Amino acid sequence: MEQIVHEAVAQGSSHGGDFAAVALVIAVAALAGLGFLWLRQPPLVGFILAGILLGPTGMGLIANNDSVAFLGEMGVVVLLFFIGMELSIKAFVVSLRQALLVVVGQLASAALLAVVIGALLDATTREIVILSFVIAMSSTVVAMKMLDEMGALRGDAGRIAVGVLIAQDIAVVPMLIFASSFGGQGFDVVSTTVRVVVAVGIMAGFLWYFGRFGKLRIPYAEKVEDKVELLALGALALCFSAAAISGVAGLSPAYGAFIAGICVGNSTLRSRIIPVVEPIQSVLLVIFFLSIGLLIDLGFIWDNLLTVLLAAIGVVAAKSVLNVMFLRWTGSSAQTALIAGLSMAQVGEFSFVLAAAGLAAGALGEDLYRLVIAMTAISLLVSPVWVSVMRRLEATYSEGLESYRNALAVAYAQELREVDRGRIFVGRMAAGARARLVALDLARRERRRRKAERKAEKAREKQAAAKVEAGQQGEIADRSKGGETE
């Protein structure tokens, strides 16, 4: 009996330590998110930094274990489920042609960038293919957050950017199938092609059906529409069931979740389910971005700092320019292309999933996987810079600007004025400093002159006193001589 009590106490102490670690993780993540929110930056950056701080290469409070990775995968599944729910098929169809053209251009340019990076790193063909998938993806969460914060999500730039982002999310499905099929001795082209065709065909069928026939009527919807618990449980059951069936079928769990989200989003219960599922999705996304921070190897980044920074900055810069070019070529105005293109400049969260699939299949090496994780994380971490840039470029909406150079001049007109004022102020300060130096030099010279004059005056007074003293001594001597003579 005593042994049982001791074991129970020991087990309770162990669980207490586990709960303390969980509480610390949640507290640090919440504080980091609030801190970045206070700085008017995306909270997800704080979640990634919290994962880095608490991870194996940081303070080591959290081990990068399978449980955290599984929760992160759940976050991705629920994210695609939520994206499917919020997908407006009519709006997507309107921008479908441009979105597909831009995504094709992004894939082609990403392939060229991957070839260049792969050639520098001696990567294999399979690694280059996966790297091109990774580079092509943009962050749906970050882009929509940026567009929403500047009030452009409902405008032309937001509509086009969301269309391209959804097309990218749809393209993730065949990408995951390809990445997962690279394992083993060889690549089964026929099997992979069949799975991709089936996946695209099913998705096209759903989009056609809901675009033609409208809402899906759910039986007994009026009886459960006010039951929050049943709505949440039913939505998540549909999400994970579809993900499980899709995964078993060899497609992708994310694909099944996306299809389930489309079905729910085009049903009569859509307006009731979205506010119920959104908090759950937010919590799982926090875990997902924490898991990203846990995956980042600070030692690898430090040892390969130049390579990581060049890859991250080069990819973000290239994507910025190419996105704007593709949007301009497909008919968008200069202002719309600039805003939408910059919003998709970062590397997306699905890049982690693609890299993990390639690593699991044995098609992606460990070093290149670490480079992809570091590059993607850095691009997400610098996303606040792009938020600031986009806010400044918001002025292009109301200005008839002929070039991007003029757009940047308008966007940063205040800074240019401040720089000009600063230049004038610095010039005045320099002139004043020079005048003060001249005055100090003149004062120093004047003090030296006066000091020299006082010294000379003292010398003259001393000489005069010496002469007077010598004369008095002479008179005394003469008197002494006269007295002796008498």
> For the segment 259-281, what is each residue's pLDDT rounded down to a tens digit?
888 888 888 777 788 888 878 77
Domain count, the chain: 2
List Cα–Cα distances, 10 to 13, 15, 17, 19, 23, in angstroms: 5, 9, 11, 14, 20
Instruction: Tell whether 471 and 433 lie within a shared domain.
Output: yes
List Cα–Cα distances, 252 to 7, 257, 264, 408, in angstroms: 43, 9, 19, 42
Q: Above 70 in pLDDT, residue 63?
A: no
Helices 270-295, 43-54: inter-axial angle, 10-degree rounding: 40
Most confident of 2-16, 149-163, 303-317: 303-317
Instruction: Tell whether 385 and 460 lie within a shared domain.
Output: no
Confidence of residue 423 (pLDDT cuts 50, 70, 90): low
Instruction: Tell whether 198 and 335 lie within a shared domain.
Output: yes
Residue 216 three-state SS: strand
Instruction: Tell whether 118 and 203 lie within a shared domain.
Output: yes
Instruction: Tell whether 352 and 256 lie within a shared domain.
Output: yes
Percent of the chain with pLDDT over 90: 0
Q: Above 80 in pLDDT, residue 320?
A: yes
The one-character DSSP state at 104 is H
Instruction: Tell whether 284 and 327 lie within a shared domain.
Output: yes
Instruction: Tell whether 308 and 448 lie within a shared domain.
Output: no
Rounded mean pLDDT of 289-295? 77
The domain of 446 spans 412-486
Instruction: Tell whether 418 and 345 lie within a shared domain.
Output: no
- The reply to whether 80 falls in a domain is yes
Let me know the angle formed at the C-alpha of 303 by 300 and 304, rounded to the nearest 5 degrees. 85
Distance CA 110, CA 122 (A): 17
Confidence of residue 4 (pLDDT cuts 50, 70, 90): very low
| Predicted local confidence at residue 285, as pLDDT | 75
Confidence of residue 2 (pLDDT cuts 50, 70, 90): very low
Q: What is the CATH number for 389? A: 1.20.1530.20
Distance CA 114, CA 179 (A): 15
Which tens digit of pLDDT belongs to each residue from 138-169? 887 778 777 776 777 777 788 888 888 878 87
| Predicted local confidence at residue 7, as pLDDT | 47
Instruction: Tell whether 392 and 421 lie within a shared domain.
Output: no
Instruction: Tell whether 248 and 330 lie within a shared domain.
Output: yes
- The reply to whether 51 falls in a domain is no
Helices and strands, number each (H, E), in the chain: 21, 0
| Predicted local confidence at residue 151, as pLDDT | 73
Instruction: Tell whether 388 and 420 lie within a shared domain.
Output: no
Last residue of a domain, one of 397, 432, 454: 397
- The reply to whether 358 falls in a domain is yes
- The reply to whether 48 falls in a domain is no
Which tens digit of pLDDT belongs to each residue from 96-142? 788 888 889 989 998 898 888 888 888 888 888 888 888 888 887 77
| pTM for the whole structure | 0.67
Let me know the angle formed at the C-alpha of 15 by 13 and 21, rounded to the nearest 5 degrees. 105
- The reply to whether 43 falls in a domain is no
- The reply to whether 27 falls in a domain is no
Instruction: Tell whether 186 and 265 lie within a shared domain.
Output: yes
Last residue of a domain, one of 366, 397, 428: 397
Residue 296 three-state SS: coil
Question: Residues 99, 160: contact at Cβ < 8 Å?
Answer: yes
| Predicted local confidence at residue 461, as pLDDT | 76
List Cα–Cα distances, 73 to 65, 70, 112, 236, 286, in angstroms: 13, 5, 29, 14, 12
- The mean of the pLDDT values for the chain is 75
For residue 382 the two structure tokens come to 């610098």
Q: Above 70 in pLDDT, residue 16?
A: no
Confidence of residue 379 (pLDDT cuts 50, 70, 90): confident
For residue 289 the two structure tokens come to 């971005």
For residue 332 the two structure tokens come to 């968008």
467 or 100, higher pLDDT: 100
CA proximity to 53, closest of 76, 74, 75, 33? 33
Distance CA 287, CA 68 (A): 8
* Distance, C-alpha 177 to centroid of its chain: 27
Rounded mean pLDDT of 473-482? 63
Let me know the angle formed at the C-alpha of 263 by 259 and 267, rounded to the nearest 5 degrees. 165
Distance CA 58, CA 62 (A): 9
Helices 334-343, 305-329: inter-axial angle, 10-degree rounding: 150
Let me know the angle formed at the C-alpha of 282 by 281 and 286, rounded to the nearest 5 degrees. 115
- The reply to whether 17 falls in a domain is no
Confidence of residue 366 (pLDDT cuts 50, 70, 90): confident
Which tens digit of pLDDT belongs to each residue from 182-226? 765 556 667 777 777 887 788 778 778 777 777 777 776 677 777
Q: Above 70 in pLDDT, residue 309?
A: yes
| Predicted local confidence at residue 42, as pLDDT | 67
- The reply to whether 173 falls in a domain is yes
Rounded mean pLDDT of 72-90? 76
Q: Above 80 in pLDDT, residue 414?
A: no
